[in-house]
Amino acid sequence: MSETDHAELDWLIDVQDVAYSIAERNIFADLTMRVRRGAITAIMGPSGTGKTTLLRLIMGQIQPQRGRIHVFGEDVAALNRSQLYGLRQRVGMLFQNGALLTGLSVFENVAFPVREHARLPESVLRELVLMKLQAVGLRGAADLMPAELSGGMARRVALARAIVMDPEVLIYDEPLAGLDPISKGVIVRLIQSLNRSLHITSIVVSHDVREMSQIANYSYLLVDGKVAAEGIPTDLNASDSKIVQQFMSGAPDGPVAFNYPAPDYFEQLLERH
């Protein structure tokens, strides 16, 4: 397939009928979803539903057994290693725990992708890194080591690192997990402001229904390897699907059962050994 001029593409990421399984376990059955240019797209779902696996499929780390994934109009599975690396330079990714390189300072962590991919004079690099740290509010922390940062700060440094090469797409893997309300507010605000000011497309994988409802332009709810519901946040809140209602309201029991499958309780208690 010839390279499509990505400036014309409305859908930057296009997942078509993807099936993926690992060790006899089906993670995805017939997954179809699209990410629109310039939008903040939320991917939500119960734990273990494969949201992180989906990100790995999009980034070409693993290949689907069936179906196609197009990123910037290119079939990810058909790319060779150097083409894949070229694609990844246009996508920034924020990992759940930040994944900062522990041996490098905050400054060096943010500078890392630039040092690897660009030949910039040191003074220009310094200004670039300081600007990105300023965007996430951590310019004063440039000399700290990752071990000295709190969880929220580490995530913000990782965000600065993810945007340092000015990517076209930013992927956030559970950016709000484990954060206090203030840090959550900071990250949510950053996701929104970066999407607007950098004119990028954002994909946010998250459990946090309330926060995602505030910022997402479009949401997907993944359950059992399929899209159970999609739409703008108000659509999901108004959905009459039982699984969607359980997830959006956080009800402990429903289509996603509270009790793990087990034999009859009474019989098991009275079992003679």
Partner 1 sequence: MRASPIRAGLIKVGDVTWFLLRVLGQCMPALARPAMIVEQIYNAGARSLIIIMLCALFLGMVLGLQGYDLLARFGSESALGVAAALGMIKELGPVLTALLFAGRAGTALASEIGLMGATDQLTAMEMMAVDPVRHVVAPRFLGGVIAMPLLTAIFDCIGIYGAQLVGVAMMRIPAGTFWSQTENAVGLSDINEGVIKSLVFGVACSLLAVYEGYHAEPTAEGVGLATTRTVVSSAVLILMLDYVLTAAFL
User: Which positions lie near partner 1, rule CB under 8 A?
Assistant: 59, 61, 84-86, 88-89, 91, 93, 95-97, 99-102, 112-113, 116-117, 158, 161
Minimum Å distance from CB 92 to partner 1?
Answer: 8
- Select 27 or 223, whichever has its Cβ closest to partner 1: 27
- Select 102 or 123, whichever has its Cβ closest to partner 1: 102
Minimum Å distance from CB 165 to partner 1?
Answer: 8
Q: Which residues of 112-147 are buried (b: 16+ CB within 10 A; e: fewer)?
A: bbbeeeeeeeeeebeebbeebbebbebbebbebebe
In this structure, are residues 42 and 204 in contact, taking their beta carbons and an 8 Å threshold? yes
- Select 101 or 232, whichever has its Cβ closest to partner 1: 101
- Select 27 or 244, whichever has its Cβ closest to partner 1: 27
Q: In what order do the strands lie in the sheet containing 40-44?
A: 91-94, 169-173, 201-205, 40-44, 218-223, 226-231
Minimum Å distance from CB 145 to partner 1?
Answer: 14
- Select 59 or 177, whichever has its Cβ closest to partner 1: 59
Minimum Å distance from CB 99 to partner 1?
Answer: 4
Distance (Å) of CA 17 to CA 20, 32, 64, 70, 270: 10, 5, 10, 12, 48
The three-class DSSP label of residue 14 is strand
Minimum Å distance from CB 102 to partner 1?
Answer: 7
